[in-house]
């Protein structure tokens, strides 16, 4: 019975995996076809000729600008979010001050605010400080909106760090900033890697804020810029498929290589908390 149960479990997981992977494989094959094969041939067949020029065409057509905008904005927002969230979590969990619980409560309230309800206030605020059509408006918004969930993930891990480490550091003459950057921060790398992946997925796929705050093409990210690109190649469906593959590839690679880190960080935070 145990073998039968294990067989059925693995069979079910295999079927689910096939259904999950098939759309990605189909999209990749779609991006290597021309319009004739797409509309007249079998949609599930392999391309008669692998047309890698679809990728060259869209990259030279300007999608590279949107791609690199997504890369540097995502990386910068992740650095700010993880650094500020780590500092806030350290202050809340490892230092004694009267308003620590109030600040923690305010951070958690931030998770309850719907994104769409803040677009107009944010637009007015950025307009007053001349940050409309500036990538810094996107970086600031991503950082602020990802802080609550990042702090929540870090909390459980920080609460269980042994106090003896900090006491030993103080005896050795460490200041608070030295203790944080040299001792505490390196110890939280497993759970920090989880927050990095979660922030990356959100920042890379975000659409509403970029579409609202950015109007210049040379500042748009991939999720918004791809709209213009699809309009440009409306009759070339292979090129459209190539743009979609390029847009999902970074997240797919991040998930493949770092999924274990996500599970490890979440489980360690949950168990220790």
Calpha distance 264→151 (Å, rounded): 17
- Report pLDDT digits (tens) over 119-167: 999 999 999 999 999 999 999 999 999 999 999 989 888 888 888 888 8
What pLDDT, on a 0 to 100 scale, did the predictor assign at position 273? Answer: 42
66 neighbors 222 (Cβ within 8 angstroms): yes
Tell me, what DSSP letter sits at residue 47? P
What pLDDT, on a 0 to 100 scale, did the predictor assign at position 232? Answer: 62
- Report pLDDT digits (tens) over 85-125: 999 999 988 888 888 888 888 888 888 888 778 899 999 99
Dihedral of CA 155/156/158/163: which sign? positive
Domain count along the chain: 1
Nearest in space to 135 (alpha carbons), one of 214, 188, 43, 76: 214
Nearest in space to 141 (alpha carbons), one of 197, 219, 206, 57: 206
**Confidence tier at 176 by pLDDT (50, 70, 90):** confident
Q: Does 208 fall in a domain?
A: yes
Q: Does 253 fall in a domain?
A: yes
Q: Does 35 fall in a domain?
A: no
What pLDDT, on a 0 to 100 scale, did the predictor assign at position 108? Answer: 84
The CATH number for 102's domain is: 1.10.3720.10
Q: Does 42 fall in a domain?
A: no
Q: Does 14 fall in a domain?
A: no
Nearest in space to 188 (alpha carbons), one of 106, 85, 77, 102: 85
Q: Does 4 fall in a domain?
A: no
Average pLDDT over residues 184-188: 87
- For 224-247, b where at least 16 C-beta lie within 10 A, e where not — what string? bbbeebeebbeebbbbbbbbbbbb
Q: Does 190 fall in a domain?
A: yes
Residue 136, classed as helix, strand or coil, is: helix
- Domain containing 212: what range? 63-272
Q: Does 148 fall in a domain?
A: yes
- Report pLDDT digits (tens) over 13-68: 899 989 888 888 988 988 888 888 888 767 778 888 888 888 888 888 778 888 99
């Amino acid at each position: 019975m145990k073998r039968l149960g294990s067989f059925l479990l693995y069979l079910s997981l295999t079927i689910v995996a096939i259904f999950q992977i098939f759309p990605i494989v189909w999209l990749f094959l779609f991006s290597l076809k021309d319009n004739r094969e797409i509309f007249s041939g079998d949609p599930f067949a392999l391309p008669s000729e692998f047309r890698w020029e679809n990728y060259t065409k869209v990259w030279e057509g300007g999608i590279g600008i949107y791609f690199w905008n997504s890369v540097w904005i995502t990386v910068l927002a992740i650095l700010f979010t993880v650094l500020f969230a780590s500092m806030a979590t350290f202050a809340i969990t490892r230092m004694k001050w009267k308003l620590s619980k109030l600040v923690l409560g305010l951070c958690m309230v931030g998770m309850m605010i719907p994104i769409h309800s803040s677009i107009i206030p944010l637009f007015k605020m950025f307009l007053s400080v001349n940050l409309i059509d500036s990538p810094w408006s996107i970086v600031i918004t991503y950082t602020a909106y990802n802080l609550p969930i990042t702090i929540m993930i870090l909390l459980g891990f920080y609460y269980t760090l042994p106090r003896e480490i900090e006491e030993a550091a103080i005896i050795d003459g460490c200041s608070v900033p030295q203790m944080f950057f040299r001792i505490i921060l390196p110890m939280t790398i497993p759970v920090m890697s989880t927050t990095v992946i979660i922030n990356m997925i959100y920042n890379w796929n975000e659409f509403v804020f970029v579409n609202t705050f950015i109007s210049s093409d040379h500042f748009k990210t991939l999720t918004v810029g791809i709209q213009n690109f699809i309009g440009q190649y409306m009759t070339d469906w292979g090129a459209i498929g190539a743009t979609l593959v390029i847009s999902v590839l970074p997240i797919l690679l991040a998930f493949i290589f770092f999924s274990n880190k996500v599970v490890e960080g979440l489980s360690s935070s949950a168990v220790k908390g």
